[in-house]
Structure 1
Amino acid sequence: MAARGVSWPTIPGQDQTALRPAAVLVLLGVLDDAPARHPSAAVPADLDVLLVARSDELTHHPGQVAFPGGRLDPDDGGPVAAALREAREETGLDPAGVEVLGTLAPLPLPVSRHLVTPVLAWWATPSTVGVVDQRESADVFRAPVADLIDPARRGVVTSRRPPTFRTPAFEVSGRVVWGFTAIVLDTLLDALGWAEGWDRGRTLSRP
């Protein structure tokens, strides 16, 4: 199933030509025993999404919170295989426990010259995950979806490098999620009818 009806906002960049294909895994599941603090009528308190804090040593998006993922390799055969491979390499995830629900429309990310396909999946049989390579990831963690919905944890962040632009942002698990990852989360919450009204004039401090 390919859910390609999602409409993404435009991310400004210096060059939107010659974008390289990439994919990320948006993995939902009942992933741990720490329930969300925010009560939501839309989602259960134990629904989580898997996120990775990128290493500060990386050239692109250092220190940012992201979905597991990366560039397509010639042997991947498509974005689904690439997203699962990258998630395994980054977090130790066992792809056998993942049920792929579909792909979303690719989103151009000009700053790193990638065209990124989000792969939506359900973690039917969770496996142990953690940092595999500290040169790439500083942390692997599970964020409660209901806490992402919480209006008190939501706001906007302005990029520091030109061309500057604003993205949605979330405060969760002691981190600020912004940029590409926050755009995908914000769009999905709206598309699924899970979002609650939040203050789009509230500015969060990015790392």
Structure 2
Amino acid sequence: MDALAQLRTLAADGIDWRAATGRLPAADASRPAAVLVLFGRLDDVPAEHAGDAPAVPADLDVLLVRRASTLRHHPGQVAFPGGRMDPTDDDLVAAALREAEEETGLDTDGVEVLGTLGALPLPVSDHLVTPVLGWWARPTDVRVVDRGESAQVFRAPVADLVAPANRGTTALERGGRTYRGPAFEVAGNVVWGFTAIVLSGILDELGWSVPWDRDRLVDIPW
């Protein structure tokens, strides 16, 4: 089965986030938001670690942004394009596409929306975030549109995300407790937090993950 067919199946079946991550939906008071998880074959440059991810096409990428360091919430973190749902948005899919266009200049006409994967809480900013799964059927140029919002827009090879050498775990101390989560090192960036949790769940559900060292600690780039 090719990558697009697998993603279609994932969109149809969804993900049991409680089983995958142990995270439960937040209270109804949480503000609705959506992110665009956009996969596609975006260029002719193969992943550096294609041989370490036999189930993943070497030319398959996912679109990511690095948030501006001046933002109030999640400054400097790598994320999927997306944001809070506005009153003018028809639904969460529309919100994800609008935010992606505003942040990256994405031509949304070239995006095939495959479906949504169910909401996850983001307690730090009191949002309930729905990942919208998409396929970049007609890729176009993307870029940083507003330096006040994003510092970088880039395409991360999925095989490089899967490669064991690029995976690890972060440890965050808060309120006397240690919170551990997945992390990825790709394109000179560390992907951690909410985005890494979603990526890790998707890769596992698709059967693309390979064994990696969960005891390897990755420093959080503050």
AA partner of residue 169 (structure 2): V
The range that moved more, 15-24 or 137-146, is 15-24
Cα distance change of structure 1 residues 76 and 30 upon mapping to structure 2, 3 Å threshold? same
**Structure 2 residues not aligned, in runs of 5+:** 1-10
Matched, 1:57 2:67: no
Query: Post-superposition shift, 1:35?
Result: 1.3
Provide the TM-score with structure 1 as the length reference.
Answer: 0.94
Query: Which residue is equivalent to 1:7?
Result: 17
Q: Secondary structure at the match of 2:198?
A: helix
For the aligned residues, what is the CA RMSD? 1.7
Check if 1:27 corresponds to 2:27: no
Q: Which of 59, 79, 88 pairs up with 1:75?
A: 88
1:114 aligns with 2:127: yes
**Secondary structure at 1:139 match in 2:** strand
Q: What is the DSSP-based 3-state SS (H/G/I as helix, E as strand, rest coil) of the residue aligned with 2:147?
A: coil
Kept in 2: contact 1:3–1:102 (CA 8 A): no
Which SS does the other structure have where 1:187 is aligned?
A: helix
Task: For 1:196 and 1:135, locate their aligned partners in 2 and report how far apart those are by CA, in whole Å.
Answer: 37
Number of the residue aligned with 2:211: 197
TM-score (norm 2): 0.88
Among the aligned pairs, what percent are the same residue?
65
Q: Is the contact between residue 28 and residue 123 of structure 1 (CA under 8 Å) also seen in structure 2?
A: yes
Question: Which structure shows the bigger proportion of residues in helix conformation?
Answer: 2
- Of 29, 37, 41 in structure 2, the residue corresponding to residue 18 of structure 1 is 29
Query: Aligned with 2:64: secondary structure?
Result: strand
Distance in 1 (alpha carbons) for counterparts of 2:204 and 2:189? 22
Q: Distance in 2 between matches of 1:93 and 1:124?
A: 12
Aligned to 2:163: 150
Counterpart in the other structure of 1:127: 140
Aligned length: 205
The 1:61/1:16 distance shift into structure 2, 3 A limit, reads farther
Contact 2:114 2:134 in 1 (8 A): yes
